[in-house]
Structure 1
Amino acid sequence: MKTIIHKAEDRGFANHGWLQANHSFSFASWYNPEKVHFGALRVLNDDIIAPKMGFGTHPHDNMEIITIPLKGVLKHRDNMGEDWIPVVPGEVQVMSAGTGVQHSEINGSVDEYLSLFQIWIIPEERSVKPRYDQKTFSEDDRKGKLQTLVTSFKDEDDHSLKIHQDAKLSRIDLEAGSSFTYKLKSNAHGVYVMTISGGVSISEFNLNSRDAIGISETSNFEIKATEASELLFIEVPMINL
């Protein structure tokens, strides 16, 4: 089993006043040659956005973009539609930028900070037709068991959101003292495990809130919860850039 540890305090950080952003991988003005990507996972930003603030209209192309709100309310608008769409904790948003899309993401609250994960995955197919989707996932469905959020269009799972990559995003909530065995899709895949909250041990590594570990070259591994924990799994093909 091959592992790479990314401690929370070693992430890139940018304080823009209205935005506090932690970067697991090189992004914008922060560059670390050892943290450019993990397989097809290119971006994992842990953002806190001030009330009424956000990202004005800007373009993307040829990227699969997933947003997971953790607290507050996100509002989204793009050139595929006219309306502002709310996205709240419990929901997940996906957008295939494909040939090109313009979008805005703002904090929809006037008094509450917005906390979210923004994830970019490199697609397996370029210049697809842009698309947007979102879906609600029950917290009860990830208590002690894996809850699948996002899979490939080629995957038969019809309960998950879809992207143009042979990837799998999932979550689990573990009680203190419990354990779980994660099984990878194939030997060509790796999984990036983000500890949203709590504490777990994987192999000889102890991970606390916002610590992450990239795991590859194995078929499965065991996770032991040292305290009540929430985990995010981002499983991707281990492509080279």
Structure 2
Amino acid sequence: MKILIVEDERKTAAFLKKGLEENEFVADIAADGETGVSLMLQGNYDLIILDVMLPGRDGWSVLRELRQRQNQTPVLFLTARDSVPDRVHGLELGADDYIVKPFAFSELLARIRSILRRGPVRQAAMLQVADLEIDVQRHKAVRQGRTLDLTPKEFLLLSLLARRTGHAISRTLIAEQVWDINFDSGTNIVDVHMHRLRSKVDDPFEIKLIHTVRGIGYILEHRQG
């Protein structure tokens, strides 16, 4: 497996390259965005680790160009930018995962292997479940013609559920993707935010779309009857 590391911090890039090669990956390094794009388009990589803050051009524009060229190589953002809007933006551009620095290499390696097992995921610009429409580019959700007033976290949570419509998503995965934390069974952060999301997505409407899957987590789907 061949991985491209697009990272301008030399120590971080060298650390990543060494760790990946010790785990039987082949790793190349690009220290700026332009070099990264050039290598991406000719290097036939299995996965790309991409920083956001890069010399020349940032990681957002690098990924945008890659997807505009219909290149669906899996991309994992590894960056110090830890705000929820940044994570939402990265995933909407077509990233397969988003990890915030500082990071544990063991977790990074696990995320890489998970991405490679499932292959590249094509992110849709519009998502629809029954009468719920989600415009991921404009950060807008509409149900029965009514715009839903969602916070950035709620929008990211709803988008995560919508991309996996009909499949139960565990609380652990939700915590990792929305808050970038390892889920602690002693906290109810996921359930609290899901309750708030339901109050906006489901409570004003007759048909309920968000359902609890006992012992697992939550699912978004239109259940007949």
TM-score range, shorter chain: under 0.3
> Larger strand proportion, structure 1 or 2?
1
Q: TM-score, normalised by structure 2?
A: 0.24
**Structure number, greater radius of gyration:** 2
Q: TM-score, normalised by structure 1?
A: 0.23
> Larger helix proportion, structure 1 or 2?
2
